[in-house]
Amino acid sequence: MPAPSPGYSITVRAEAPAAIDTTGVVAGAVAEAGGALTALDVVESRGQSLVVDVTCNASDADHADRITARIAAVPGVKVRKVSDRTFLLHLGGKLEVVPKVPLKHRDDLSRAYTPGVARVCLAIAENPDDARRLTIKRNTVAVVTDGSAVLGLGNIGPAAALPVMEGKAALFKQFAGVDAWPVCLDTQDTEEIIRTVKALAPVYGGVNLEDISAPRCFEIEQRLRDELDIPVFHDDQHGTAIVVLAALTNALRVVDKKVEDVRIVVSGVGAAGHAIVRLLDAQGARDIVGCDRHGALDPEARHTDEFRGWIARNTNPRKVRGTLKEVLAGADVFIGVSAPNLLDEDDIAGMAPDAIVFALANPDPEVDPVAASRHAAVVATGRSDYANQINNVLAFPGFFRGLLDAGVSDITDEMMIAAATAIADCVHADELNASFIVPSVFDPKVAPAVASAVRHAAGGEGKG
């Protein structure tokens, strides 16, 4: 069973006898059910009884029900209600619009709105570039999805994708001061998505594409980059690739190997896998083997998918054949962005000494991290309940901060490598070890370091 997680946090409100050991007995019930107690508060006292709020983490919804049942089974305890803390957090959404200027009297209104605003409108009509200076455009990003590939949930549609996009927007603001807004489109037609984003573009300083299925995401991103004068970034591709490169940079430091010398196997050649392979190639990796569900991509085969074809043509220099398990034997690095439980402990044991394993499928990784750690020197996942969480929030807020400050539209490999280097360097040499290869997402140094690196790679500190 997976470890208890804050994603399945509940608060059980229960009435219990007013005895000296009440809280201890209730806490014991949570432990017996395998829950992780995070708080136990007495909220009411009524003569012979107490009302307590028991807050704990579960591993899934069924586990939460079992914990509740175990609490209710304690003699004399009556469960009043159970609150799912994750759903409570999302009630009413996670974003709001707050004015930046005072609107307290007629004078304020006359300048912020009519008649004064007309002067600003005419100034922009005369010089459209002034929109960056005189509107929200210079600090605003559209978080665009069609809901076709949301997290590990698949094609759940735009309305169901909205909580994720709200969260993404909140992270932009929290970590880099960027105002982002969810744009969930009720279409999965490539041409209509491109046309709609282009029509919305005058409001925004950048576009963050999110959770759009491959291979359509590749064409959508490339077309929008070609046809818009603002940066377009597909976080599932490039955000993941940046953080993977940062983590690999430090993992290789831990095991004293160089990227140009190691054998790398990448499981998954969709959006994330394609971007990871390309960025590792740009960084100097010489021996990468990309694998799909059938095994290693054949460099001599014809691929109708041009992106899969690029991987086949530009990787696998030894022309190895075989399944993922077969080609992993003797490899130095495994990077998984594919599906759960593809590998077992024996597969990791067959890798090279001091192997590195990044099992990033979410919520269940390609191999059990604990089992992998018995044989690999460094193990990372996408989960928050294991060491070395490879999380895109390390990259995209600072990356867009740098792009917006620099006022550039092109995103280059040099910018992404610079961002990855900045993230890696936020872990100082005296902090670096096998369980700490990437900084915390809450490290206040990360976003400014990434933004500075991107501005420098873009050729300056910005256009203002």
What is the rounded distance in angstroms from the CA atom of residue 48 to the CA atom of residue 173? 49
Spatial CB neighbours of 92, under 8 Å, sequence gap ≥ 6? none
Contact by Cβ (8 Å): 12, 82: yes
Q: Spot the catalytic one: 8, 137, 168, 257.
A: 168
Q: Is 463 labeled as catalytic in the residue annotation?
A: no
Task: Name the DSSP letter for residue 213.
Answer: -
Largest CA distance in the chain: 80
Q: Is 113 labeled as catalytic in the residue annotation?
A: yes
Helical segments of 289-332, H only: 306-314, 324-328
State both tokens at 103: 């609107």
Helices H / strands E in the chain, number of each: 18, 14
What is the rounded distance in angstroms from the CA atom of residue 298 to the CA atom of residue 30? 52
Q: Spot the catalytic one: 78, 113, 258, 319.
A: 113
- 417 conformational bin, left if phi > 0, alpha if psi -120 to 50, beta if neither: alpha
User: What is the amino acid identity at position 295?
Assistant: G
What is the rounded distance in angstroms from the CA atom of residue 337 to the CA atom of residue 460? 34
Q: Please report the DSSP string for 278-299 in residue order.
A: HHHHHHT--EEEEEETTEEPPT
Catalytic center residues: 113, 168
